[in-house]
Chains A and B, each alone.
Chain A
């Protein structure tokens, strides 16, 4: 599985945010989440077989 990179846009600072929080942020969501079971033959066909956890 390869990572996808998406930069989270910095928000406009508000008056009462601390210096720490306000600093322009390199924070990124490196990989977006999915709203479903990510594994399982019943959904994706991507099964444990061939992934590390299953020995064969």
Chain B
């Protein structure tokens, strides 16, 4: 007997066609209204002849599954088995400094002590620490060196040293190596791009908050110094050259700038950079230091879909799903945020907050980069009890935001950050946007 997977979501089109998707396998199918009716009928009468498309819905696609299979238990086992026993990538968020030349009002790092940046002695020690880590953890096969901050390019000297030292370490341990950077983009000049491109540069993420006036009102420097022009010039330099294949542009979105984001998308489209840019939306939420006005998930989904529709209509690639998991970098077995003082954390959102430190590069240990607070997978129990179909693309949501909501104590790490309404509305809308016109 076949039944519809617990991870199957559906989205209906105006003409009655139905798009079905399994959030676990990623399979997407579209059926006409009459075919969907025939499917529903047959599922209740499986002794009769089956519709001709049923076989393609089972097997690896898992839109239909065998009745009686405990899909949640299977998924949870696979999640833990994969996380614990198939960990081959080390994601190192390397923070040369926590200082930043921008003064964005919503930054998660507002309120922390930004310190003085990484000393040469700490840098050298970090290289030795990672060298030893590779010896102790032979299962690591890939090193992602991700520059983060603060603004990492305020310390180009450290970035330059790290690129050389860590890529050499990767070579020594026969690791695949790649460079990534999360930057506000203001200092990402051609000479920096040239430098990064020599070290297998795979990813850059730059945030824009809207058209020039909106961006400059939110992501400005000291004394309201505007930043859009420099950042945009650097984006055009990247999209007009071959230093990196794609530029990730993050569009921050909250109640103050949402209406302006489509204008930004149209502005970018007029520059003709659609094929060199990958857009993503970052919903601004409260941090430990900054209270952001709460907005409804339904509103977030509506705003995001307006942006994605505009992006699609202007020739940008758009995602066909919205995900928040199931595993983030903080929950990975081999991952760390290396802070300028040599302390280690799991999540870059807690940079500069000592209570989230789990270790440092000065103390020898054979343990993997472990913070048990991020291994609290019982936080998924409520999701399973509720039979949430979004679990495979959510994983209980962001631990950091769950912690912010719950006051940041130890118990808050056991809480989930449920955004089911947002996941529902946004994913249904993205399916319609991505597949609705292919009729």
Interface residues in chain A, defined as those with a beta carbon under 8 Å from any beta carbon in chain B: 1-3, 5, 8, 10-11, 13-14, 16-18, 20-23, 25-43, 45, 47-56
Inter-chain contacts of B26 with A (CB < 8 A): 31, 33-34, 38
B74 to nearest A CB, angstroms?
11
Residues 192-204 of chain B: 1 if any A CB is under 8 Å from the residue's CB, otherwise 0? 0000000000010
Is there contact, CB below 8 Å, between B52 and A25? Answer: yes
List residues of chain B with CB within 8 A of the CB of A28.
29-30
Q: When the two chains form their complex, are residues B328 and A27 in contact, meaning their CB atoms are under 8 A apart?
A: no
Stretch of B159-167, B256-264, B279-287, B380-388 that contacts chain A: B279-287
B: number of interface residues (CB 8 Å): 80
Inter-chain contact A1/B281, CB cutoff 8 Å: no
In angstroms, Cα B205 to Cα A51, docked, is: 11
Cβ distance B31 to chain A, nearest Cβ, rounded Å = 6
Give the distance to chain B from A46, nearest Cβ to Cβ, in Å: 10
Cα A51 to Cα B129 with chains together (Å): 30
Q: Quick check: A33 and B282 within 8 Å, CB to CB?
A: no
Q: Which residues of B contact A39 (CB under 8 A)?
A: 323, 325-327, 393
**What mask results when residues 333 to 352 of chain B are scored 1 for a CB within 8 Å of chain A, else 0?**
11100000000000011000
* CB within 8 Å for A29 and B27 given contacts A1-B319, A40-B82: yes
Q: What are 19 A-B pairs with beta-carbon distances under 8 A?
A: A20-B34, A21-B49, A22-B52, A25-B52, A26-B32, A28-B29, A28-B30, A29-B29, A33-B62, A40-B332, A41-B327, A42-B334, A47-B328, A49-B329, A52-B322, A53-B324, A53-B397, A54-B328, A55-B398
B327 touches A42 (CB 8 A): yes
| B residues in contact with A26, CB < 8 Å | 32
Chain A residues lying within 8 Å of B2, measured Cβ to Cβ, are none
Pick the residue among A8, A33, A42, A48 that contacts B88 (CB under 8 A).
A42
Taking a contact as CB atoms under 8 Å apart, the answer to whether B329 and A47 are in contact is yes
CB-based contact A41/B332 at 8 Å:
yes
Q: Say yes or no for B37: interface residue by CB 8 A criterion.
A: yes
- Given known pairs A37-B327, A45-B144, A52-B323, the reply for A8 and B335 (CB within 8 Å) is no
- Beyond A16-B48, A26-B32, A42-B87, whether A56 also contacts B182 by CB under 8 A is yes
Do A2 and B317 touch across chains, with their CB atoms under 8 A apart?
yes
A12 to B394, CA, bound (A): 40
Chain B residues near A33: list those with CB within 8 A. Answer: 22, 24-27, 60-63
Given A29-B28, A47-B91, A52-B323, 8 more contacts at CB 8 Å?
A18-B49, A29-B56, A33-B24, A33-B61, A38-B26, A42-B87, A52-B281, A55-B282
Question: In the complex, what distance in Å separates the CA atom of A8 from the CA atom of B325?
Answer: 30
Do residues B38 and A48 form an inter-chain contact, with CB atoms below 8 A? Answer: no
Report chain B residues within 8 Å CB of A30. 19, 28-30, 435, 438
Q: List residues of chain B with CB within 8 A of the CB of A22.
A: 52
Q: A32-B61, A33-B60 are in contact. Are A25 and B282 (CB under 8 A)?
A: no
Report B-chain residues with C-beta under 8 Å of the C-beta of A14.
49
Contact B82 A54 (CB under 8 A): no
B241-279 interface bits toward A, Cβ cutoff 8 Å, 1 = contact, 0 = none: 000000010100000000000000000000000000000
Task: Kindly state the separation between the CA atoms of A14 and B78 in the bound complex, as whole angstroms.
Answer: 39
Chain B contacts of A17 at CB under 8 A? Answer: 49
Considering only residues 20-60 of chain B, those with a C-beta below 8 Å from chain A are 22, 24-32, 34-35, 37-38, 42, 48-53, 55-57, 60
